[in-house]
Structure 1
Amino acid sequence: MTRTALVLGAGMLGVSCALALQKRGIAVTLIDRREPGSETSYGNAGVLASSSIVPLNNPSLYARIAGYLGNRDAALNLSWRRALTRPGWLLRFLWEARPSQAAARIAALQALTESTVPRHRALMAEAGVSHRLRENGTLKLWRSEAGHAAAQAEHDFLRRHGIASQILDRQGISAVEPGLNPIFPVGLLIPSVGSVDSPGAVTAAYAALFVARGGRIEQAEVTGLARRGAVWQASTAAGAFAADIAVVALGPWSGDLLKPLGLDPWLDVERGYHRHLRPQDGARLARPVYDVDGAYYMAPMEQGHRITSGVDLSFRDAPDDHRQIDSATASAREAFPLGEVVGETWRGARPTLPDSLPMIGEAPRNPGLWLAFGSQHIGFSTGPITGEMIAAMVCGEEPPIDPTPFRPGRYIR
């Protein structure tokens, strides 16, 4: 008898899990309230981040805390009311940044991210969207001379981990990105990083590939999940769906579904914004660039040049606060000739766990319930390997990397 699976959540992680399970002969139903790739997977910078191997809560966080507290840093907006509702989570996040944990976390993230580009390249070819892939790196930029030391330190760190990079002076930056205004004295080019021109369209193409191979997609909001005898049943406004296993890949909404089961994954969210602007005078970036001092990505997209904001630590469903994205837009205009805004400003949420690592594996005490969420800023990058890890463990195969650092049991008891 054919095994069956429900995958709840049609972002990059969920779609990747559905494809990987399907490849192993499992009949998969993919369920989401919106079309595939319409939530968190839509709103990122489109970077395939093979060099994102340092967790956000690394030891350097302690030195930056004082600068964050007054909400004067473009990288972070902190709602104290929100922070004080979960002081235990915040304290755990800070505790997890201790130096003794850094090397193991870096190793785990490198294992998770190092195959990002080839895995996406293969999937894009299968889905017929190879034209959306760029393999010309990303460029990190500093506005002050002090950036030379920071660029050198990052270059040395990446080299120790086998990742090539190139330090560029002002002339070198102009050579690779002639459209940028000459306000950056130093940059770091990381050639191995890839990017795409529409993260949402790539996710939707992977979902279309899943359907073309016989997969089923149901657009309905999942309102509940329960074990019924030998199967898992998801309740939705469109009715109930049952299968042998269930994979929860609902990103920042995953905890809402798990808590009625008595499972607390210690999940929180980081909000973020983006907006698109048209370039002026025929100028165009060849790759995503990150302005360290402005705390924004500017990435060439199908819709225009996308400007992303720093992290907004407000309640997940609180009204928009455009202070960060407005600041990022002003900084981006200093760096590049940008014209009118295209469309509406987008807001989304990213799922985050206290140790800055995702949760990938079977839920404790709940056989057949698999979890794939908490990837913070790298979920779009790591969707394919996460799907392969989940599918391999479901089928009793050796996963492509050691899943131990990502086990759900580190927070769920």
Structure 2
Amino acid sequence: MVGVSCALALQKRGFTVTLIDRREPGSETSYGNAGVISRSSIVPLNNPSLWQSLPAYLRNDHAAIRYRLGHLLRNPGWILRFLAEARPSRLAPRIAALDSLTSHALPMHKQWMAEAGVSQRLRETGWLKLWRSEAGPEKAKAEQLWFEDHSVRSEPLDRQALSGLEPDLNPIFTAGLWHKDSASVDWPQAVVAAYAAMFAARGGRIVQAVVAGLSATPSGWKADTEAGPFNAAIAVIAFGPWSADFLKPLGLDVPLNVERGYHRHYRAEDGRKLGRPLHDVEASYMLAPMERGYRLTSGVELAHRDAPSNHAQIDQVLPSAREAFALGEQVETTTWRGARPTLPDSLPMIGEAPRKPGLWLAFGNQHIGFSTGPVTGEILAALVTGETPPADPAPFSPRRYLK
């Protein structure tokens, strides 16, 4: 999503753009999300409440977060920086930065989806955060007031209101919070593919090839690929969790790690339906209606990007999801795995690389890359052309980590 968005935003400003990807656009990290275009995703995972949950997470049996000890031991710097960002003093500026991105997410997607002819994939029904515990109503109300202070619309729901909104949801939840300023799509990959097709229809070039490396030239940058070399005045690195691999040989050591996640699709029993994605807080999963069934997504796994899969988390949440909604048989026999690219402060890196004129960076959007891809592209393209970006680019500057 981020790479295609950057290509579209630059093309709109008159650039001739070549988009190089080893797979079809939307087939990697952007494929496996809950499809939510989220206005309310403004609180980073590493916020002060993480400290309260840390003892439970350290047992390494929680559905929300699992880790591979060897991976953590090989990346102590990233872990320490990630935890340091959970200090209360670091929260407000990061919330403001994320808010500046998510406030543009839905309006930009609506415009682009209309232009790409895929508006039928958009559901403007929001998403639900659900609680099972007796403290649910109090928590829902507190969060609603907090979001109201940040100009994000939400509505607390009691058991009866939940049943009215989602009649096929089993009545096991004490409360919910309906995030009304958000939307969702029925197949994220199809939306990215539609944006890519729009880019190609407007004269953009898409090359499916493995990129072996990037090097500076007297006139700009050269990408060496299995399809041959490509030269350009500027280069944009938007390789998601693979971005750091291409920058390290250039002397740019980016503290990029990944939060892995898994999903499966299930059919609903007896014609049951959900009108929007839901997040079961205490059971630590999301369930989203998709074109090919109901997508069940797991929590975070801190492991090397390419380590073998571990299905423990998604296996753990499946019984809870079936308690909540009548899921039937699995649609596919495989379990999808992906890696969300995350920097220690949970903010993306958007801007020109230090000491590398013409090399631009756009990655690290963690869990909200699908939502914030278009605004990321617009910020980057505005910086390239000297325009005023739609959001303050300072919090996303590469110079906060690269010198």
Q: Report TM bin, short chain.
A: over 0.9
Q: 2:21 matched to 1:53?
A: no
- Which residue of the other structure, out of 133, 145, 149, is the alignment partner of 1:160? 149
Q: Which residue of 2 aligns with 1:76?
A: 65
Q: C-alpha displacement at 1:73, in angstroms?
A: 1.6
Q: 2:174 matched to 1:185?
A: yes
Moved over 3 A (4+): none
Q: Which residue of 1 aligns with 2:255?
A: 266
Write the distance in 1 (CA, Å) between the matches of 2:212 and 2:136.
49
Write the distance in 2 (CA, Å) between the matches of 1:34 and 1:329.
30
The AA in structure 2 aligned to 1:363 is A
Q: Which residue of 2 aligns with 1:41?
A: 30
- Which residue of the other structure, out of 392, 397, 403, is the alignment partner of 2:387? 397
Q: C-alpha displacement at 1:149, in angstroms?
A: 2.4
Q: Which residue of 1 aligns with 2:320?
A: 331
The AA in structure 2 aligned to 1:127 is A
Q: C-alpha displacement at 1:208, in angstroms?
A: 0.2
- Which residue of the other structure, out of 273, 276, 281, is the alignment partner of 2:270? 281
Write the distance in 2 (CA, Å) between the matches of 1:270 and 1:53.
17
Aligned length in residues: 402
Q: Which residue of 1 aligns with 2:378?
A: 388
Q: Which residue of 2 aligns with 1:239?
A: 228
Q: C-alpha displacement at 1:101, in angstroms?
A: 1.2
Write the distance in 2 (CA, Å) between the matches of 1:137 and 1:314.
31
After TM superposition, the score normalised by the length of structure 2 is 0.99
Q: C-alpha displacement at 1:79, in angstroms?
A: 0.8
Q: Which residue of 1 aligns with 2:365?
A: 375
Structure-to-structure mapping, 1:171-320, within 5 angstroms: 171-320=160-309
Write the distance in 2 (CA, Å) between the matches of 1:316 and 1:409.
25
What SS does the corresponding residue of 1:377 show, helix, strand or coil? helix
Q: C-alpha displacement at 1:148, in angstroms?
A: 2.1
The AA in structure 2 aligned to 1:15 is V
Write the distance in 1 (CA, Å) between the matches of 2:323 and 2:229.
52
- Which residue of the other structure, out of 8, 12, 17, is the alignment partner of 1:28? 17
The AA in structure 2 aligned to 1:296 is Y
Structure-to-structure mapping, 1:349-368, within 5 angstroms: 349-368=339-358
Q: Which runs of 5+ in 2 are unaligned?
A: none
What SS does the corresponding residue of 2:9 show, helix, strand or coil? helix
Q: Which residue of 2 aligns with 1:346?
A: 336
The AA in structure 2 aligned to 1:77 is R
Q: C-alpha displacement at 1:72, in angstroms?
A: 2.4
Structure-to-structure mapping, 1:58-69, within 5 angstroms: 58-69=47-58
What SS does the corresponding residue of 1:315 show, helix, strand or coil? coil
Structure-to-structure mapping, 1:126-165, within 5 angstroms: 126-165=115-154
Write the distance in 1 (CA, Å) between the matches of 2:61 and 2:261.
17
Give a deviation string over 1:19-43, Cα, whole Å, max 9, x none: 0100111000000000000000000
The AA in structure 2 aligned to 1:355 is D
The AA in structure 1 aligned to 2:267 is R
Write the distance in 2 (CA, Å) between the matches of 1:153 and 1:280.
35
Give a deviation string over 1:277-321, Cα, whole Å, max 9, x none: 000000010000100011111000001000000001111111110
The AA in structure 2 aligned to 1:359 is M
Write the distance in 1 (CA, Å) between the matches of 2:10 and 2:191.
19
Q: C-alpha displacement at 1:330, in angstroms?
A: 1.6
Q: C-alpha displacement at 1:201, in angstroms?
A: 0.3
Write the distance in 2 (CA, Å) between the matches of 1:144 and 1:95.
30
Q: CA RMSD in A?
A: 0.7
Write the distance in 2 (CA, Å) between the matches of 1:153 and 1:182.
22
State the identity %.
Answer: 65
Give a deviation string over 1:220-272, Cα, whole Å, max 9, x none: 01110010112100111111111000000000000000000010111001110
What SS does the corresponding residue of 1:114 show, helix, strand or coil? helix
Write the distance in 2 (CA, Å) between the matches of 1:46 and 1:104.
26
Q: C-alpha displacement at 1:55, in angstroms?
A: 1.1
After TM superposition, the score normalised by the length of structure 1 is 0.96
Q: 2:24 matched to 1:16?
A: no
The AA in structure 2 aligned to 1:287 is R
